[in-house]
Amino acid sequence: MVPKKKYYTEAQEKMARYAKAMAHPARVFILDFLAGNIDKCCYSGDMAEDIPIARSTLSEHLKALKEAGLIQGEINPPYIKYCINKENWEEARKMFEVFFRK
């Protein structure tokens, strides 16, 4: 089998993953909420009180952001607390900053 030719750089694929994760207003809200509390983690229940979506929908959005690496979660049954993944958050900020300067 012939390997597929790679058209995109690793950085382009990572930036697209970050952008896709941020491509919904609820996810932007979540990131804004967590970035406003960057020095501490927040429970998903705290966000559920401030955003008019079902908790199951909130969980799906949190999952997408976590899979993209923009947030991280810690499970302490029955609670899950989330916070910004500071390293990836900074990386995404720099990537978009460079991209929009072009």
Give me the CATH number covering residue 90.
Answer: 1.10.10.10
Does the pLDDT of residue 8 top 70, yes or no? yes
The count of domains in the chain is: 1
Q: Confirm whether 70 is domain-assigned.
A: yes
Q: Confirm whether 3 is domain-assigned.
A: no
Q: Confirm whether 68 is domain-assigned.
A: yes
Q: Confirm whether 23 is domain-assigned.
A: yes
Does the pLDDT of residue 33 top 80, yes or no? yes
Q: Confirm whether 4 is domain-assigned.
A: no
What are the tokens at 24?
Answer: 């919904």
Q: Confirm whether 42 is domain-assigned.
A: yes
Does the pLDDT of residue 3 top 70, yes or no? no
Domain that holds residue 67: 10-101
SS3 (DSSP) at 2: coil
Q: Confirm whether 2 is domain-assigned.
A: no
Question: Using a CB cutoff of 8 Å and minimum separation of 24, what contacts does 72-79 make?
Answer: 74/41, 79/43, 79/44, 79/45
pLDDT per residue as tens digits for the range 55-78: 899 999 999 999 999 999 888 888
Full-model pTM: 0.86
Q: Confirm whether 1 is domain-assigned.
A: no
